[in-house]
Amino acid sequence: MPDAHALGPRLAADGSVIPAPMTRRVMNLADLLHGTARRLPDRPGLVWRDTIWSWREMADRVKAAAAALTARGIRKGDRVLCQSRNGNAMFEAMFAAWTIGAIWVPTNFRNTPQEVAYIARAARAKAMICESIFAGHAAAVKESDPDLALTISIGDADFAAVEWEGLVAEGRAHGAACPVAAVDYDDPC
């Protein structure tokens, strides 16, 4: 068995530090959900208020949402901004973004509309998922972010192209499989 110190940094003959080897293996964070759904499909995956979704149900909803986002033009590397309080749709949206290799850009529900608009511009958000109670935030982002191509509401709202449950249904209707995107070491998703 090698000495524990042999695995850490070493000193070269000239006194400089030779860094310890580091793995370059990576995993898409969406694999956490999809892998758990394969291993424990019928176990509770998410409990939100009075509803319990199994890991399989969560993975199916996420795959459907990811397929619909892809059909609407969201691709690997695109930024998906989310202005929402905690809830199942926010959880699903996060994993759907990761599934397609998009970059998840969460905001704090306490941020002002102007702060969220700034975050959207700075991140160059292509899509915004926004809870219906934050209509002012969605308006501020739409007004200030020229890259924004898609707005999705959580709950009914006039500001969005589609509501979250409708997006999930859209993905299911297409029946399109959406594989988990491969990621590289330096990918931010």
Return the DSSP state at 38.
H
Q: Which domains does the chain have, with CATH numbers?
A: 27-174 (3.40.50.980)
Is the pLDDT at 124 greater than 60? The verdict is: yes
| Secondary structure (H, E, C), 93-114 | HHHHHHHHCCEEEECCCCCCHH
pLDDT at 4 over 80: no
Average pLDDT, the chain: 92
Helix (H) or strand (E) holding 129: strand 125-131
Confidence (pTM): 0.85
What pLDDT band is residue 9 in, cutting at 50, 70 and 90?
confident
**pLDDT band (50, 70, 90) for residue 6:** low
pLDDT score of 142 more than 90: yes
Give bridge partners of residue 130 from the DSSP assignment: 83, 153
Which tens digits make up the pLDDT trace of 52-63? 999 999 999 999
Model pLDDT, residue 57: 97
Give the helix, strand, coil percentages of the chain, each rounded to 5: 40, 20, 40
